[in-house]
Structure 1
Amino acid sequence: MKPIFAAAPSASARLALVVIISVALMVADHRFDRVQGLRRAIAVVLTPVQYLVDAPSRLWRWAAESLAERDRLLTENADLREQQLLLRAQTQRLSALESENQRLRELLNSSIEVGDEVLIAELVSVDLNPYSHKILLNRGSFDDVYTGQPVVDARGVVGQVTEVTPLTATVLLITDAQHAIPVQVDRTGLRTIAVGTGRSGVIELPYLPNNADIDVGDVLVTSGLGQRFPVGYPVALVDRVDLSPGRPFAQIEAIPSAELERSREFLLVWPRARTRALAVDG
């Protein structure tokens, strides 16, 4: 009986057939250029497959390059921020130095105008007690600072030294309720005593009668009486005058000329009279 299905060709026969077809195609392509169209068709079919095969590799390269670029940008951004902070700090420092130089020039100019011997001192601290108006300066007995010594800034009288250590001096401000200073009205020469009120930025003239010749805007300067404060230093500007007939004394308030809450540099003053007396004693 014959088999229903013919036997399949052997493996050797199939291999021989593939080799013959391949050789025939190579010869035809080389001699007659007959398979160029087939090659193009195969290339068209395989191109998307190649893209799909290469996609993971391309995606990996893109991700690696993106991460590297991100790290580079982050590092560059951090460096730029650091440079910006440094430049800002330098700019602020230069601005502070410029302001300090301006204040020192004003101090030196004021010392030249008054003609007394002076020494520049810097603020160390401010007394935080609300009932006491005092500051601490970085000059002391090693610099010949003495108790009762006048202290001024570029605008006017600040106060006087009340305590001295070898390296520091405590200054009682003119606004302290315990402070009093002889003054005169620059416009009229009227003399009186200016007393601290215990309030920031205000002093008063409690001993002038109701008929005193004084007006808002009058300038108060040191009178020189008591020989502690040299004559002619600005003290305050009259801000309020109340001449009520029912009271024996006028109520007069003034704003200190000195920048008591802003100044950082001050002048310790040796009045010329005291300097001459010390020279004679020496």
Structure 2
Amino acid sequence: MFAVSRDPFDVTILLRSAAIKPLFARGPSPTFRVFLAALAALGLILADHRHQHLAMVRSALAFVTYPIQYAADQPSALVRMTREQFASTDELRDENLLLHRENLLLKARVQQFEALEAENIRLRDLLGSSLDLGERVVIAEIMAIELAPYRQQVMVNKGTKSGVFVGQPVLDANAVMGQVVSASPFSSIVLLITDADHALPVEINRNGLRTIAAGTGLSEGLELLYIPKNADVRVGDLLVTSGMDGRFPAGYPVARVTTVRQDPDNPFTTVIAEPTARLDRSREVLLVWNLSETSRQQALAGDAPQSRGTE
């Protein structure tokens, strides 16, 4: 016969021992579990790398986890928006000032490019004019200008060191401008044809009528002296140098007639002409050396190509 214990504590222990029983009497070791996990991971990596079998799985996981990523990024995005919205007035003012300065610099550079382009065009015009002259010429730049009433003269940056002499003709790319009245080693004074003290022998290119073009002291006007009332002078006639003074070579453009007026009290016809040279706008001028008649004929015949040049 068996003895039955009446101790409640012993009964409880027996019941708990009967209720808790392990599912497996003995499971795999931890090392084997790690090995299986590593082998499975390696297999997944090879399968995804070689055959892209897990692309769909990744897409599904990315779709599932996107709300989580979006929610995690919201605090930093909120901070950035707040910083941009509440940027200080000083920072905006400094940025605006910096952009304004950069804009001014860019505009200045554009102006320099435009000035260089205009200067290039002027120099090309001068070069083309010098090749057409059949004379020896040198290009000079205007340093100073005086266009006060009854005083029309400019200063150029060439002097006796460059061979400049008093009485030397001066032209721009279009026509006669004046002549040198004073020369120093490195600069010269040019009296413009519009000066009240300047007079130039000219002729009408259309009919060969000779006259004197005198300066009026105004940059836009020359007056033709001693034109008879029956002379054939018309508005638009081109005046060229006649070469009668032995200083200006013949045939250079001087001015174009703008006014022909008959005054009852004046025995001569009043004729006003406008210079074709850009007296108030030219930046560079041509100083001309006359060729001798023999050299001129050789140059025209093509026997002396060295007779004309620029310095």
Q: TM-score, normalised by structure 2?
A: 0.65
2:290 to 261, 267, 271: 271
- Identify which of 187, 195, 201 aligns with 1:176: 195
Aligned-residue offset at 1:193? 1.0
Aligned to 2:210: 191
1:17-59 Cα offsets, whole Å, 9 max, x none, are xxxxxxxxxxxxxxxxxxxxxxxxxxxxxxxxxxxxxxxxxxx
Match of 1:79 in 2: 98
Determine the C-alpha separation between the residues in 2 that align with 1:249 and 1:212. 9
- How big is the shift at 1:261? 0.8
Q: In structure 1, what is the equivalent of residue 266 of structure 2?
A: 247
Q: Which has the larger radius of gyration?
A: 2
Task: Tell me how far apart the structure 1 counterparts of residues 99 and 240 of structure 2 sit (CA, whole Å).
Answer: 55
Partner in structure 1 of residue 299 of structure 2? none
Tell me if structure 2 keeps the 8 A contact 1:184–1:192: yes
Shift of 1:200: 2.5
Whether the aligned pair in 1 keeps the contact of 2:152 and 2:192 (CA below 8 Å) is yes
**1:82-105 C-alpha deviation (Å, 9 max, x unpaired):** 211110000000000100111111
Instruction: Answer with 226-235 or 63-72: which moved more.
Output: 63-72
Q: 2:125 aligns with which of 97, 102, 106?
A: 106
Whole-angstrom distance in 1 between the partners of 2:150 and 2:89: 60
After TM superposition, the runs of 4+ consecutive aligned structure 1 residues lying more than 3 A away are 62-72, 243-247, 274-277
* Contact 2:160–2:186 under 8 Å retained in 1: yes
> Does 1:163 pair with 2:185?
no
SS in 2 for 1:208: strand
Q: What's the secondary structure of 1:272's corresponding residue? A: coil
Query: Within the alignment, does 1:126 sit opposite 2:134 as a pair?
Result: no
Find the aligned partners of 2:156 and 2:203 in 1 and give their Cα distance: 28
Q: Deviations over 1:140-169 (max 9, x none)?
A: 001100000011111111100000001111
Which position in structure 1 is the counterpart of 2:237?
218
* Percent identity of equivalent pairs: 50
Deviation at 1:64, TM superposition (A): 8.3
The CA deviation at 1:242 is 1.7
**2:169 pairs with 1:150:** yes
- Selected match of 1:204 from 192, 217, 223: 223
Stretches of structure 2 that go unaligned for 5 or more consecutive residues are 1-80, 297-306
In structure 2, give the amino acid aligned to 1:98: E
Q: Is the 8 A contact 1:210 1:244 kept in 2?
A: no
Distance between the aligned counterparts of 1:129 and 1:238, measured in 2?
23
Q: Which residue of 1 aligns with 2:13?
A: none
Deviations 1:151-192 (A, max 9, x none): 111111110000000111101011111101111101001111
Q: CA deviation at 1:65?
A: 7.3
Change (3 A) 1:128 1:253: closer
What is the CA-CA distance between 1:273 and the residue it aligns to?
2.4
Q: Provide, for residues 63-86 of structure 1, a one-character-per-residue CA deviation record: whole Å limited to 9, x for no partner.
A: 987665444333322221121111
1:55-74 superposed matches below 5 A: 68-74=87-93
Runs of 5+ unmatched residues, structure 1: 1-61
One-letter identity of the residue aligned with 1:84: N
SS at match of 2:197: coil
Q: Say whether residues 1:237 and 2:225 are aligned partners.
A: no
The answer to whether the 8 Å contact 2:147/2:219 transfers is no
